[in-house]
Structure 1
Amino acid sequence: MPPGITTLAADAPTLSAANTGFMLICSALVMIMTPGLAFFYGGMVRVKSTLNMLMMSFISLGIVTILWVLYGFSLAFGTDIGSFIGWSSDFAGLSGIGITQLWDGYTIPVYVFAVFQLMFAIITPALISGALADRVKFTSWALFVTLWVTVVYFPVAHWVWGAGGWLFELGVIDFAGGTAVHINAGAAALGVILVIGKRVGFKRDPMRPHSLPLVMLGAGLLWFGWFGFNAGSWLGNDDGVGAVMFVNTQVATAAAMLAWLGYEKLRHGSFTTLGAASGAVAGLVAITPSGGAISPLGAIAVGAIAGVLCAMAVGLKYKFGYDDSLDVVGVHLVGGVAGSLLIGFFATGGVQSDAKGLFYGGGLDQLGKQAVGVFAVLAYSLVVSAVLAFLLDKTIGMRVDEDDEISGIDQVEHAETAYDFSGAGGGAAPRTTGSAPDSTAAAQTKKVDA
């Protein structure tokens, strides 16, 4: 995603109605991804946790929007301070921005750029929530989101996309969020779950999705919205780069879905709907950083590699004993790392920049830069997220009581249930216990991988 670039007055751009309209549509597409994520995650958990999972995504729409207006946009995209963070008093509260003032070097208003970036800031902490299903207090989650976007997401967004950010200045390519969004969220998820521990019954009770149709609906909404997420990140469509990114998004997602299903069939004997949905998301994650630097043939390779790697990675939690409830680490962290590093192999030098990967005569230079970006964001997010979770756990507590977790977090935290089983069909359903069916792409392979 291009940061602001100072332009000489003689070359100053003028507002483009076409690009402005295009970016507003893309912003709306990215917004719908958060409800899509809520459905995707909500279908993957047990019945007793459905509403809590939906709310963990939806609350991000409220919290992050307000923080972004107050200070988040200024921290991420204000004037650079030491290559680590930004700040601009005009951006704080969005109070000093003219309605026709253009984002530096581009043909869209600052307000449009700010709202587009807001949607990225909203979905990133929502991604983390899938790793914490069934066991986190809603108040603690809301406070974690507030702290996390402030000390992790806003600074990392500046590193990667802000003018003067150290990773941008280094030459790290991240078209739409492989580091700032997916590695950031995946590493944070790992840091938090290492602090708060496993669900009651992990590796003992069946934990299958309660509604695969909801999972597929959520995956479809994510795929649809991702075109705005990716193609919009060029901030216009005057030179065709956004169109290449749109094509590569479709191609890589298709390749990853097929690769995941192929791996699943060979390893476990079945093509599952959960595998198709998870594979599609893995492809979307991997193409997000790389799609503006590679060709459609490269997108096939990136998608296929990510599909297989992520399918393999979701079973690691059973081997290493960390309870990543809905495979945020396996899909978003692994997929983000794969997509970011593969730029160092498949970058053609003919799309968003002239940087070339190893397979196109560029040597190892770009791969080295990508590795620095990947591991810097991974380490920072992992450590700081774990510290935040530890502090919250030792003060207000991160987890619900064990009895409340077993009986169902929806009733405890929200005083509601997702489904009314006492209607026309007859008597009420029996009380859900800790051994009720529940979630994850890995759950269907647990017997093999455990």
Structure 2
Amino acid sequence: MDTGSIAWAVTATALVLLMTPGVAFFYGGLVKAKSVVSMMMMSFGALALIGVLWVLYGASMSSVTGLWDFSGNPVADLGLTSLASGETANTDLLGSAFSATFAIITVALISGAIADRARFGSWMLFAGVWATLVYFPVAAWVWGGGWILHLGTILFGADSAAAVIDYAGGTAVHINAGAAALALVLVLGKRSTFAKGADKPHNVPLVLLGAALLWFGWFGFNAGAEWTNGLDGVGLITVNTLGATAAAIIGWLIVERVKDGKSTSVGAASGAVSGLVAITPACANLTPGWALLLGALAGTVCALAVELKFRLGYDDTLDVVGIHLVGGLIGTLYLGFFATGTGLFLGGGLQQLTLQTVAALAVLGYSFAVAWIVGTVIEKTIKFRLEPDAEVAGVDNSVHGESAYAMEVREIA
């Protein structure tokens, strides 16, 4: 492989890895001042744990040889020993590292839904079990040779060219994480302060910094895999990642202006993330104009969807469900209508929409069910949620013995 493609693969891997600290900043700014350390630690904890599990057995689980295999054999290449000694070890290990960053951020995304009330040790246990039972197998289904990758031939016959489109993770990352987040929210229950307007972001610049790092890293997230294709599609993916995200910001801000009378910086940051989520599965299969429409649609719908938690009564602290689950569904299903050459309105029939719908619902249902079971077991045994007095005192001090902002008071003589 040429050195330019390899250099881009290393760069893209670093960009996607940076997105997890970006999530930490984004989430950390949105919570209360006495929860910011806890919130950021959940992202960094996921980075550490899932990085280790990926090398140990996650990479082995994320590809399959049989169409209906649940996952790869976790002990087939413990510690990537065989991969590191193969003839193509250089590029194989690089591809594995790139894939690992997707596993890491998917788990980190879930944490925002349970901010202000989760035990760190319980979160780490959940993260490891959920990655093992859900993310690694789902990655195998979507990208690693499994049944979702071959769903077109399963439903429409061996001669069919139809296939599920999920270029960078609408199902495997965002629907997967959003469904798990919804399950954990139901397991842990509401915060004592849960009410519209009760909690405000404690550090808006931190939110904007996190959103900026996410957008920056997302060019590696969406275009990173092009290193295996000679970078042939990188231009389209790059402009779609830019355009859809920009359009989503505008869509979100318009909704805020109409609904609340003011457009906010936090709304702009949230709109950007919703656009990034929606374009993730579609970045390589839309023309730029349709990508703009997708972004505007995602920003508008997600801005409305985040309000559902107050109507339906589920305490999704940082709107993981409203942004990642809803945005992931929008981006995945949108391809059924507007994917170049195969979408219902662009020369195709119902096949693409059928495939996108089946894949999205399958991942949603499986992730939700396993997350709910694992979360419930943890809550009933070692406890997942903090005690009420610890929540009131603040998660940072109760769990980590730290404060994000140490204020020193000096006496004036």
Q: What is the TM-score normalised by the length of structure 1?
A: 0.86
Residue 89 to residue 148, structure 1, CA distance change in 2 (3 Å): closer
Pick from 15, 34, 54 the counterpart of residue 29 of structure 1.
Answer: 15
Matches within 5 A, 1:84-163: 84-87=70-73, 91-98=77-84, 101-102=87-88, 109-163=91-145
Between 46-55 and 93-102, the greater mean CA deviation after superposition: 93-102
Instruction: Give 1:89 deviation, angstroms.
Output: 5.4
Moved more, 254-263 or 87-96: 87-96
The structural deviation recorded for 1:358 is: 1.0
Per-residue deviation at 1:241?
A: 1.2
SS of 2:59 mapped into structure 1: helix
Paired letter, 1:169: H
Q: CA deviation at 1:268?
A: 1.1
Relative distance call for 1:239 and 1:227 in structure 2 (3 A) is closer
Contact 2:67 2:147 in 1 (8 A): no
**What is the aligned partner in structure 2 of residue 50 from structure 1?**
36
User: Residues of 1 paired with 2:70 and 2:126: CA distance?
Assistant: 22
Equivalent residue number for residue 281 of structure 1: 273
Is the counterpart of residue 358 in structure 1 residue 344 in structure 2? Answer: yes
Quote the residue 1:66 is aligned against. 52
Report the secondary structure of 2:72's partner residue. Answer: strand
Aligned mates of 1:290, 1:81 — CA distance in 2 = 24
CA distance in 1, matches of 2:75, 2:208: 43
User: Mapping of 1:247-266 within 5 angstroms?
Assistant: 247-266=239-258
Aligned partners of 1:365, 1:20: CA distance in 2, in Å? 36
Q: In the alignment, is the contact (CA less than 8 A) between 1:260 and 1:308 conserved in 2?
A: yes
The one-letter amino acid of 2:149's match is F
Amino acid at match of 2:148: L
Secondary structure at 1:206's aligned position in 2? Answer: coil
2:405 maps to what in 1? 419
Matched, 1:169 2:150: yes
Q: Distance in 2 between matches of 1:173 and 1:161?
A: 10
Q: Could you tell me which residue of structure 2 aligns to residue 186 of structure 1?
A: 178
Taking structure 1 as reference, are residues 183 and 204 closer, same or farther at Cα in structure 2, changes over 3 Å only?
Answer: closer
Deviation at residue 78 of structure 1 after TM alignment: 4.7
Report if the CA contact (8 A) 1:80-1:87 is conserved.
Answer: no
Task: Kindly indicate whether the alpha-carbon contact (under 8 Å) linking 2:165 and 2:356 is maintained by their aligned counterparts in 1.
Answer: yes
Counterpart-to-counterpart distance in 1, 2:83 and 2:170: 29
Which residue identity is paired with 1:248? N
8 Å contact kept, 2:246–2:272: yes
Pair 88,409 (structure 1): closer, same or farther in 2 beyond 3 Å = closer
CA deviations on 1:115-138 (whole Å, 9 max, x unpaired) are 000000101110000000000011
User: How many residues were matched structurally?
Assistant: 401
Q: Deviations over 1:214-264 (max 9, x none)?
A: 000000000000000000123335252122111100010000011110111
Secondary structure of 1:96's aligned partner: helix
Give the conservation status (yes or no) of the 8 Å contact 1:237–1:243: no
What fraction of aligned residue pairs are identical, expressed as a percent?
51
Which residue of the other structure, out of 236, 239, 242, is the alignment partner of 1:244?
Answer: 236
CA contact (8 A) 2:278 2:327 kept: yes
User: Which SS does the other structure have where 1:109 is aligned?
Assistant: helix
Asked whether the 8 Å contact 1:89–1:96 carries over to 2, the reply is no
Question: Which whole-Å CA distance do the structure 2 matches of 1:245 and 1:91 have between them?
Answer: 33
CA distance in structure 2 between the aligned counterparts of 1:403 and 1:101, rounded to whole angstroms? 58
Aligned residue for 1:420, secondary structure, equals: coil
2:157 corresponding residue in structure 1:
none
Q: Which moved more, 1:321-330 or 1:356-365?
A: 356-365
Report if aligned partners of 1:178, 1:339 keep a CA contact under 8 Å in 2.
Answer: yes
Shift in CA distance, 205/222, structure 1 to aligned 2, threshold 3 Å: closer
Q: Contact between 2:57 and 2:74, CA under 8 Å: does it hold in 1?
A: no
Equivalent position amino acid for 1:253 in 2? T
User: Counterpart of 1:86 in 2: which secondary structure?
Assistant: coil
Query: Could you tell me how far apart the structure 2 residues matched to 1:89 and 1:97 are?
Result: 13
Matched, 1:347 2:333: no
- Equivalent residues of 1:79, 1:88 under 8 A apart: no
Judge which range, 129-138 or 91-100, deviates more.
91-100
Residues 48 and 409 in structure 1, CA contact (< 8 A), matched pair in contact too: yes
Report the CA distance between 1:99 and its aligned residue.
5.6
In structure 1, the residue matched to 2:373 is: 387
Contact 1:236 1:242 in 2 (8 A): no
CA offsets 1:144-169 (integer angstroms, 9 cap, x no match): 00101000100111110012x10000
Unpaired runs of at least 5, structure 2: 152-162
**Offset from partner CA, 1:351-393 (integer Å, 9 cap, x none):** xxxxx10111201110010000100000000111000000000
- Distance in 2 of aligned mates of 1:325 and 1:357: 35
Deviation readout 1:164-186 (Å, 9 max, x if unpaired) = x1000012110000000000000
Whether the 8 Å CA contact 1:73–1:92 is kept in 2: the answer is no
| Structure 1 position 41, deviation (Å) | 0.1
Conserved 8 A contact 2:42-2:108? yes
Task: Report what 1:438 is aligned to.
Answer: none
Aligned AA (2:290): G
